[in-house]
Structure 1
Amino acid sequence: MTCFMFNQWKLYENGNLPPAESKGLEQHAEQCPQCQRKLQEWVDRMLEEEFSSYPEVPVPDTFTDEVMSKLFEAVPARTARKRSSRTRRQRGWDIMKKTGLVVAGLTALVVTGTVVSPTFANYVNSLFQIEKDAGMKNAVNKGFAQKLNQKVTDQGITFEAKELMVDSMRIAVIYDMYDQNGKQIDIDEHFLDSQLIDPTGKGLTAENGGLVMARHGDYFIAKLALNDIFESSDTTPDQLVLKLEQTEIAGKEGKWELEFPIDMKKAKEATKTADFQQATYESAKGLVMELKKIEFSPSATRVMMETKYTTAAEEERNQQVEYYKKNQEQGKTIGMKPDYLLDFLIRDEIAYEITNEQGEVVAAWDMKSLDEGIRNEKNVLKVSGTTGKAEGDKMKSWQTFGPIQGEQKLTFQLKKIYEGKLADPQMELNLTELVKQKETVKDEVGNTFTFSSFALEPAHGEEKKAQAVITVEGTLAKDVVSTEFWFVKDEDGKVYHSYLRNSESTRDKDGRIHVKGKLEVPGMERQPKKLTVSYAEYTVEHRNVNWEVPIEIK
């Protein structure tokens, strides 16, 4: 769609644009960064004119969060009125609601008629305001972003840093990359290396995840999750330097390097922490979980905990592995090598909720490997980097959610504990009959699977092998939520590692899980007469959990 001309914006601003054209302009502005920037310039100019006549009034820290939640109720519907500055503001708010530019400063102006947010003008003009990550937008709105004016050029290619966001949990840079003709170099032709440097000059490189880059409107964004380097905000130095560099871009060798001083002190001061003493739970199956700390920053909420197994639980796991190994030696097992099994038995997975004083769930975590249809998650932030690491017999883990702001009382509620168990069902399929009609098998665990629609798919390209595909539908046994690590053996004894792809799970009123998917068998180039299907592990959920920990954000 062609962008609207300046005179149309003026007509819209003054209430003279016909309703149909007004609606078209608003719909267009939802998708058009150029018109959104024009809108920002208009609103910024309007605020400069009108804010000068209002006194500055101090407000509590929680004011912004409280009034933002009431914005749409506070702003009345647009009605016919005289052309006044109030009409201009109203039209600005109408379209800003549609384009995601609703911010605390405007809210306060609507409700109180006073200037209350010194960060508002910076937010409206920030490139971060189109970011879909609500936590990052919240951090920018609270003043944790700054403009950059740094660039480096080599081999006719310019790397230009536009804006920086610093929070105690993550850092993000909006940047551009273009050649001498101004042509942008897309993200598949450049890759940035990152390094944080502490006050002693030591380089701190992320072990996992590292820098994540993506397109961001007209530019690019590079995000660095700090939990990959620092376990918590109190272990983060007050001063850091972020270095972004590259030695080859678009096939040209050179040196592109920019450094940004990072003041973490402000971000650390804005991060509130809830520490726990002896917040420990031990399950009947020997999983010991200790809630260590929850951090509340402007951009995110991070839950930190430690888990381990009791000595008795460790011994039981070892016995399972030995039993599986013996079966494999006797030719009874077609699945996984025993050396890998212990890792699969360490499930360390739980489900929990964080609720407020009204009983509303503000955050929820569930086992990551569950299908979306049965996974109970809320407000989870998908951040890169380390989410857990082993230390001795303990596993440290971090779960990250969107920001939970303001002084309030919360409750951590443990809802489920998941247990991994070994299995080796032998489900025999006659493929000659399977292509004619479905075959239903109930395995030793109590799961019932229906197999149908066997087909061979030829190889496509150099990487994709030929494979067989079998349609699978199943009803899992009571309390079983998933089956993993599938294997198929043909009549000649050849074993194929298989994958249950595109699986969809639902839960019925009795709590039983129903699953649908495609069992893919890579490397199978011909149709055997018979197949033996098995899986190595299944997961059981334990819901008889009753453990709560009070949390207070001060």
Structure 2
Amino acid sequence: MTCLNTFMLKAYLEDKFSLRMQQNIQRHLETCGSCQSKFEQYLDDLDNSNDEAEDVWQTEATIQNVIDKLPAYPMNVLKPIQKQPVQINWKKRSVDIVKKTTIAVAGLAMVVTFGTAVSPTFASYMNGIYASINPSEITVTKGPYNAKQTVNLFDKKQTDIGVKKAAENGFVQPLDMKVTDQGLTMEINAVAADPLRIMILGSVKDSSGKKIPSFWKDQFTIITGDTVNEFREVRLKDKNGKVITDLDDKSELMRWLPLPNGENFAYEARMNAYFNEANPMPDELILEMRVKRLTDTKGTWNFDIPIDMRPAKAAMKTVALNKELKTPTGATVELKEARFAPTATQLEFSNSNPNKQVVEGFRYELVDEKGTVVGKWDDMIESDELNHNLNIISMSHGASTDFTQKWQPSKRFVHTYMPLDPAKNLTMKLDAIYTGEKVSSQTKLSLAEPEKNPKKVDVAGNQITFKPIIMEEDEENTLFDIPLEAILAKDIVGLPERWTVKDENGNDASIAWLRVNKKENQDGTIKLEGKLDVLFDKKDVKEITVVLDHVIKENKVDWEVPIKEEKK
């Protein structure tokens, strides 16, 4: 699989991919400086777009669709209050919205700082900020820090429900660290840290004391994966100054995930990348941050941020479950453990025997002793259909294919929820497992003499109709839009998002993504309507062969696993 191009950026920017595909793309972007740079250029091109590009964004319906997804605060300036019609320069407005709310519109923050790129989806981002939490349903041991002082930092700023709840429970440490150089003051205001992650909250102010979005703007303008060390370096150390290195990363630099936070900035890192049983987490850590440039100003803003892990480690509860379900179809699933930390609750599953049958995902609920649903997961629904008062999408990963490989068995699934009380009697109720069912289908579509009529094929009882192809060419690439419809066989609930498409010489397309809408027929079968987007890094393609190697089947099960601490 080659890197992203404009077609992929546009599709992702418009939120056309499902949760699983978004996760695949995000993993690729974490380490690809080239794709991050492409995103910068893409935004610049929007500013200087020609009339053809203007047509894409100038309609009121397109922009209003974006605006309707925005909250009234803090970005209420983008949502008109008055009901009467107003004259708006939609092109200028759309570009502003794209730049200011990219993460909200598409779940896309192709962050170039520290060579990483990741963000929550639009729904988890927006709902994570504003979701109200019922404290009566969450009771954890209160932490040692001033809850009111830290909650105020997160109240109207971007974070997720887990960090906000950790602040409410006193597990976010307030800080008052400042460094001023060249008329700019950088502040570190708080740090949330537990065995799952670290997040720091800070701001940058100019000489008049006004906050400026330097960190957020810099990552889209002047910093790339190749130049990041010229601007910032971040390392995690133990209290003796020894650098803690990711086992898979010999650079000794942390992969940070900068997130926009209103006028503030937040940096987040996943702790499980750095510690395991062989390399346990110390009680005390130091986060070393070296900032060498803010916007156009070079200077020195250095911090050694102390992090006391002891309160969060003491509050962390891990419940070993190791319960295994063997289905009659051959799929084997194990619920390995539940982790209860101040900022989140996680369930970890595994596909114990992926070579026998590949598990594509799950559908289940978490219920408490009163029968209240406190967590949900379903790998076959879109991310905006999930309840983001429960799920923390940015910390979850589930059924997915490797972005750079062919269809590969998933072996480990981690689902993340708001902080839950480990003392309560929770139960995981799983009623469906999604498995990959192998099929073999190759459909040739001629381009020299384009098909004038739809081409219908039967793939193991799944009726797929390929409609006439729309082809576009530029100086280097050939793009095909292949509209299709599918009536799925009984118990088949989906087709893979990634396909294989070959030209007449057997060369694979660099991109072949399926984007569909789904609806259920009266007889319980599923109908899909959408298109297959195909890109070849070459011109003069005369014939393509569409290859389908598996479909996704729903297997009904009835599996309940109690999740509670063993009394000592």
**Could you state the TM-score of these two structures normalised by the residue count of structure 2?**
0.60
Name the structure 2 match of 1:284.
328
| Structure-2 separation of matches of 1:456 and 1:101 | 44
Taking the TM superposition and a 5 Å limit, the aligned residue runs for 1:503-518 are 503-518=516-531
Equivalent AA in structure 2 for residue 146 of structure 1: Q
| Structure-2 separation of matches of 1:351 and 1:231 | 29
| Structure-2 separation of matches of 1:196 and 1:269 | 21
Name the structure 1 match of 2:391.
380
Pair member with larger Rg: 1
Name the structure 1 match of 2:311.
266
Is the Cα contact below 8 Å between 2:351 and 2:359 reproduced in 1? no
Name the structure 2 match of 1:363.
375
Which of 495, 500, 509 is the equivalent residue of 1:483? 495
Taking the TM superposition and a 5 Å limit, the aligned residue runs for 1:452-471 are 452-459=467-474, 465-471=477-483
Could you tell me which runs of 5 or more consecutive residues in structure 2 were left unpaired when the two chains were aligned: 1-70, 78-128, 137-143, 401-408
Name the structure 2 match of 1:448.
463
Measured after TM superposition, the shift of residue 237 of structure 1 is 2.8
CA 1:282/1:210 → structure 2, altered by over 3 Å: closer, same or farther?
farther
Question: Is it true that 1:121 corresponds to 2:148 in the alignment?
Answer: yes
| Structure-1 separation of matches of 2:494 and 2:375 | 23
Measured after TM superposition, the shift of residue 300 of structure 1 is 1.0
Question: Is it true that 1:303 corresponds to 2:315 in the alignment?
Answer: no
| Structure-1 separation of matches of 2:465 and 2:391 | 34
Which of 442, 448, 460 is the equivalent residue of 1:426? 442
Name the structure 1 match of 2:46.
none
Measured after TM superposition, the shift of residue 492 of structure 1 is 5.8
Measured after TM superposition, the shift of residue 395 of structure 1 is 4.5
User: CA RMSD of the aligned region, Å?
Assistant: 4.3
Name the structure 2 match of 1:61.
none
Is the Cα contact below 8 Å between 1:187 and 1:215 reproduced in 2? no
Name the structure 2 match of 1:551.
563
| Structure-2 separation of matches of 1:347 and 1:292 | 15
Question: Is it true that 1:240 corresponds to 2:267 in the alignment?
Answer: no
Name the structure 1 match of 2:174.
147
Measured after TM superposition, the shift of residue 159 of structure 1 is 3.3
Question: What is the number of equivalent residue pairs in this alignment?
Answer: 409
Name the structure 2 match of 1:138.
165
Measured after TM superposition, the shift of residue 476 of structure 1 is 2.1
| Structure-2 separation of matches of 1:235 and 1:292 | 20
Is the Cα contact below 8 Å between 1:488 and 1:534 reproduced in 2? yes
Listed one character per residue, the Cα deviations across residues 252-303 of structure 1 (whole Å, up to 9, x for unaligned) are 6665431111111112233344333x52323335444333321223321111
| Structure-2 separation of matches of 1:537 and 1:103 | 41
Equivalent AA in structure 1 for residue 243 of structure 2: G
**Secondary structure of the structure 1 residue equivalent to 2:469:** strand
**Secondary structure of the structure 2 residue equivalent to 1:404:** coil
Measured after TM superposition, the shift of residue 477 of structure 1 is 2.3
CA 1:162/1:377 → structure 2, altered by over 3 Å: closer, same or farther?
closer
Name the structure 2 match of 1:408.
424
| Structure-2 separation of matches of 1:126 and 1:375 | 27
Is the Cα contact below 8 Å between 1:370 and 1:482 reproduced in 2? no
Q: Could you tell which deviates more after superposition, 158-167 or 256-265?
A: 158-167
Q: Could you tell which deviates more after superposition, 152-161 or 259-268?
A: 152-161
Equivalent AA in structure 2 for residue 304 of structure 1: E
CA 1:380/1:125 → structure 2, altered by over 3 Å: closer, same or farther?
closer
Question: Is it true that 1:174 corresponds to 2:196 in the alignment?
Answer: no
Listed one character per residue, the Cα deviations across residues 415-460 of structure 1 (whole Å, up to 9, x for unaligned) are 22333244331224455886644332222x2221222242122338
CA 1:498/1:425 → structure 2, altered by over 3 Å: closer, same or farther?
farther
| Structure-2 separation of matches of 1:518 and 1:533 | 13
Taking the TM superposition and a 5 Å limit, the aligned residue runs for 1:309-348 are 309=353, 314=355, 346-347=358-359
| Structure-2 separation of matches of 1:412 and 1:103 | 21
Equivalent AA in structure 1 for residue 237 of structure 2: I
| Structure-1 separation of matches of 2:146 and 2:521 | 49
Could you tell me which runs of 5 or more consecutive residues in structure 1 were left unpaired when the two chains were aligned: 1-27, 35-98, 108-116, 318-344
**Secondary structure of the structure 1 residue equivalent to 2:461:** coil
CA 1:239/1:131 → structure 2, altered by over 3 Å: closer, same or farther?
same
Percent identical among aligned pairs is 28
Which of 509, 513, 521 is the equivalent residue of 1:500? 513
| Structure-2 separation of matches of 1:144 and 1:478 | 49
